[in-house]
C-alpha cells in the first residue's frame, strides 16, 4: 500500500498579501497586511472511519460554501468555496486537513489556492493559505500572491474562522504517516451524498 507522510508546521507570522512585479517590469513590488473572517456550511460531506496503528481515525472529505469579508476582500462580503480532506485521530483529536479554496466577488475571482492545517483538540484548525490573486481590470494592477495564516474550527456544521490579523494562532505541529484503507467503513453521509 502506498504510504503518505505529512509534516505540517504552522507558521506564526502575520498574514501578508504580496504583490509581485509584473513580467513587463512596469509595476513596483508592494506588500500589505490583510485580514478576514469566514464561515461555511457543508454542501457535500462524506465521513468514514478506519483503524490506524495508534487508534481509530475519522476521514472527512467535504465541499463547503459560505462567505468571507474583511480587508482581504476590500470590505465586501464575497463567496467562499472550500474542498478539504481531514484525517483525524478520534482519541487525541490530532490530524491534518488539506484542500483547495476559492474566493469570488460575483463572477470575478478574488483568490484561488491551497490550504493546509493542523487539527488539534476539539476540531481546532491552525494552518496556512497560499493563493493566486488575479490582476484587476485595465489599467491592471499586478497579479499578487496571498500567503496567509488562518485559525478556525472544523465540525459537522462546517468550517469557520479568521484569516490573518483577526485570528489567534496556536503554534502546533504534527507528523502523520501511512494511509487509511481504500474503502473504509462509511460512518456518515452529509446532506448531499457523493457516490464513489
The rounded distance, in Å, linking the Cα atoms of 154 and 159 is 5
The mean predicted confidence, pLDDT, of the chain is: 79
Each residue's pLDDT tens digit, 65-115: 999 999 999 999 999 999 999 999 999 999 999 999 999 999 999 999 999
Give residues with Cβ within 8 angstroms of 112, minimum separation 6: 101, 102, 103, 131, 132, 134
pTM score: 0.76
Q: What is the grid cell recorded at 102?
A: 476559492
The rounded distance, in Å, linking the Cα atoms of 168 and 176 is 24
Percentage, residues of the chain above pLDDT 90: 57
According to DSSP, the residues that pair with 171 across neighbouring strands are: none
Q: What is the pLDDT of residue 138?
A: 67
The rounded distance, in Å, linking the Cα atoms of 117 and 135 is 27
Each residue's pLDDT tens digit, 73-85: 999 999 999 999 9
Each residue's pLDDT tens digit, 148-170: 999 999 998 999 999 987 556 56
Q: What is the pLDDT of residue 134?
A: 86
Amino acid at each position: 500500500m502506498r504510504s503518505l507522510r505529512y509534516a505540517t508546521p504552522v507558521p506564526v507570522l502575520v498574514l501578508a498579501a504580496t504583490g509581485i512585479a509584473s513580467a513587463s517590469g512596469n509595476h513596483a513590488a508592494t506588500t500589505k497586511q490583510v485580514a478576514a473572517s469566514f464561515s461555511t456550511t457543508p454542501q457535500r460531506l462524506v465521513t468514514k472511519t478506519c483503524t490506524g496503528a495508534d487508534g481509530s481515525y475519522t476521514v472527512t472529505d467535504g465541499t463547503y460554501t459560505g462567505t468571507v469579508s474583511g480587508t482581504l476582500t476590500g470590505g465586501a462580503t464575497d463567496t467562499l468555496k472550500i474542498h478539504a480532506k481531514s484525517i483525524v485521530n478520534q482519541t487525541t483529536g490530532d490530524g491534518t486537513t488539506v484542500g483547495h479554496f476559492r474566493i469570488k466577488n460575483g463572477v470575478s475571482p478574488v483568490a484561488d489556492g491551497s490550504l493546509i492545517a493542523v487539527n488539534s483538540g476539539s476540531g481546532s484548525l491552525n494552518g496556512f493559505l497560499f493563493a493566486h490573486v488575479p490582476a484587476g481590470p485595465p489599467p491592471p494592477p499586478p497579479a499578487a500572491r496571498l500567503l496567509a495564516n488562518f485559525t478556525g474550527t472544523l465540525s459537522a456544521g462546517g468550517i469557520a474562522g479568521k484569516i490573518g490579523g483577526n485570528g489567534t494562532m496556536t503554534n502546533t505541529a504534527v507528523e502523520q504517516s501511512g494511509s487509511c484503507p481504500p474503502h473504509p467503513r462509511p460512518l456518515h453521509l452529509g446532506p448531499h451524498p457523493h457516490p464513489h
